[in-house]
Amino acid sequence: MRAQVTQAKAGWCAVMRLVKDNGVERRLHRRELAYMDAEELRSMSDKALGALRLAVADNEHLRDVLRLSEDPKRPERKVQFYVAVYQHLRERIRQDIIRSDDPIDAIEQMEIELARLTEELTAREQKLAISARSVANIIRKTIQREQNRIRMLNQGLQSVAFGQVNSVRLNVNVRETHAMLLNVLSEQQEQHQDLFNSQRLTFSEALAKLYQRLNPQIDMGQRTPQTIGEELLDYRNYLEMEVEVNRGSDGWLRAESGALSTGEAIGTGMSILVMVVQSWEEESRRLRGKDISPCRLLFLDEAARLDAKSIATLFELCERLEMQLIIAAPENISPEKGTTYKLVRKVFNHTEHVHVVGLRGFASERTGEVAETLHQEASA
């Protein structure tokens, strides 16, 4: 008996020393526990132990300390576990949010702060919430702005001519199914308030449900309502664009592969690209308030697939639009305009070199053939 009492006193002294050294005496000294019997204390301990196992399941260190604290012969280890959790929480207190060194007080303050921020967020969401009519108006204005930009591009494309193509233009129209959606959002949204007032649906999901309701014949596939709704908030999905070319007596034709030659098809795409780059230059010049020297340098790969007529069409387009075009061709193409570079791999004194020869076009010289050869060697 004396040995047990001595051991209990030694354990109690170790617990008190551990508590004082770590500054948790105030937290562990709870008067109400002194009036509880052993059964009540054991029940409370078992409930707390079950909750703690879930709380520290992802922390290897705390999980090991908790396992050691379950030894009934070493009650001081339970205090060691409490101290370990206390230190773990103290190290993770956000001092920029909560100004307290006590993790228990910090958790209580964080709960109060979280409730306040939740109320503030709800109030701001209600303040910033936009109606279906507002969304439709925003999308319509954006579409009108982009249509105006297309008209500006068409003005520049009117003067583009090459080969048998006299002019190029872009046609942009709003899809009928999407136009119907905008009309319903603007004028008939009251009839579909069951979607937009639902607490279970986000605005994007409600928009997708409305689109499906208006167009039941369209197969949505495996896409989720959230994905469809996000697409419906993007104005670009409302537009259909076609490229047309004017070929004299044939009038305006859609720029399809069967209607144009290879050179004309490439030239049509290049002319549109140049107009877009030019619009970017003008926009940048307007925003920065200073002139910017244009650098319209385009690249074309696999040019050996084109015949001489197609290449001549591309050169005509480059000359009219004042742009540079670099052509990569595995075979020897000798156009009359521009400069053709031929790269030849040679071995000299057991060292490999690349011999570069440049031949400048001679179309501008009618009296004779003028060639300029440029030699440049680079170690491979």
Q: In the predicted model, is pLDDT for residue 313 greater than 60?
A: yes
pLDDT at 348 over 50: yes
Is the pLDDT at 178 greater than 90, yes or no?
yes
Name the nearest CA neighbour of 168 among 26, 23, 377, 317: 317
Q: Radius of gyration (Cα) for the chain, nearest Å?
A: 39
The DSSP code sequence of 257-321 is: TTTS-HHHHHHHHHHHHHHHHHHHHHHHHHHHTS------EEEE--GGGS-HHHHHHHHHHHHHH
| Cβ atoms of residues 106 and 89 within 8 Å | yes
Q: Which of 127-141, 152-166, 227-241, 280-294 has the highest mean pLDDT?
A: 227-241
Task: Report which secondary-structure segment, H or E, holds 187.
Answer: helix 176-187
User: pLDDT exceeding 90 applies to what percent of the chain?
Assistant: 9
223 to 22, 138, 343: CA distances (angstroms): 56, 25, 51
Segment 283-292 long-range contacts (CB within 8 Å, at least 24 positions apart): none
> Residue 372 above 50 pLDDT?
no
Q: Quick one: tokens of 232?
A: 């419906």
Across the range 148-154, mean pLDDT stands at: 89
Please give the helix or strand (H or E) that residue 17 lies within, else none: helix 2-21
What pairing do the DSSP bridges indicate for beta strands 324-327 and 297-300?
parallel
pLDDT single digits (tens) 82-106: 788 878 877 777 766 666 667 777 7
In the predicted structure, residue 380 carries a pLDDT above the cut 50: no
Is pLDDT of 18 > 70? yes
The answer to whether 306 and 267 have CB atoms below 8 angstroms apart is: no
**Residue 215 reports pLDDT greater than 50:** yes
Residue 139: pLDDT above 70? yes
Supply the mean pLDDT for the chain: 79
3-state secondary structure 30-88: CHHHHHCCHHHHHHHHHHHHHHHHHHCCCCHHHHHHHHHHCCCCCCHHHHHHHHHHHHH
pLDDT of residue 378: 42
